[in-house]
Amino acid sequence: MEAAAVADLALHGTGVGWRPEIAGVVDDLPDLGFCEVIAESVDPAAPPRGVVELRDRGVAVIPHGVRLSLGSADGLDRHRAEHLAACAVALGAPLVSEHVSFTRVAGRDAGHLLPLPRTREALDVLVANVTATQAVLDVPLALEPIAALFDWPGAEFTEAEFLTRLLDRTGALLLLDVANVHANARNRGTDPRAVLDALPLDRVAYVHVAGGSEHAGDAAHGDPGVYHDTHTDAVPAEVLALLGELCDRARPPAVMLERDGHYPPAAELTAEFTTIARTARLTGALQ
């Protein structure tokens, strides 16, 4: 898909990650533009009723994969790719998304999204698996760079260079998580704004915004601590500021709140949703 075609996607406004625990809150959110559902939690033959009701109401639904392991040298798990494709058909999705990561190696599943070495060899593997996935799909694929607590040695590219080459070679879109950009910059000691400047922002299909927490280190011994992208905490001011920085550069068509546990009261979740809409200068929830 060409970058110009991003505007043609039926995906606009402010969205939220649909979870069964907050289904009632999601249903009542003001001016909900879209939602995202974890693909592995969906039976395409019988999707969750709350998700179906949103779809039937005209809310776009995006299946978001977490276990496809696109960076795995074991090759693509075709069954998982076909499941993602079936979810897209069942939900009438305008696109699907997955992660730039791997979860499996030598047949073993780590149960976590793991960062890839930013090398030419790893890029070739990733491109091959993404291309094979796209051959199964009937809709575009957006790829999300993850929050990484470590980097592999021997990197041949910066993260922005690695992602740009990946998107150029596959035609995939970018799912940009500004919380991940913040986490990686904080943990690497780099400037998140410089990362935004280096990314192909014209390829952003939509944006994730999520919370995290600081874990103190031992400054006396050179340990600066670490930022954990938890998805269970409120969105910090730094991430909201970075969302504003992104919109100063290239306003994305769609932005969503991602929350995976420790759900706050409905009023608090709604207020966070509205704050994200206002920060992204999107219409609807601004009223």
Per-run averaged pLDDT (10 residues), the chain, 287 residues: 61 96 95 97 97 96 97 95 98 98 86 93 98 98 94 95 98 98 93 96 97 71 73 93 97 96 95 96 60
The residue with tokens 């990484």 is: 148
Give strand pairing partners of 254.
Answer: 13
Q: What is the pLDDT of residue 287?
A: 44
Q: 173 and 199 in contact (C-beta within 8 Å)?
A: no
Give the pair of three-digit tokens for residue 223: 């340990």
From first CA to last CA, the distance across the chain in angstroms is: 34
- Helix and strand totals (H; E) in the chain: 9, 12
> How far, in Å, CA of 173 to CA of 16, rounded?
19
Q: What is the DSSP letter of 246?
A: H
Q: What is the pLDDT of residue 57?
A: 95
Backbone angles phi, psi at 11, to 5 degrees: -145, 110
- Look at the pTM and tell me if it is higher than 0.85: yes
> How far, in Å, CA of 249 to CA of 200, rounded?
11
> How far, in Å, CA of 169 to CA of 162, rounded?
11
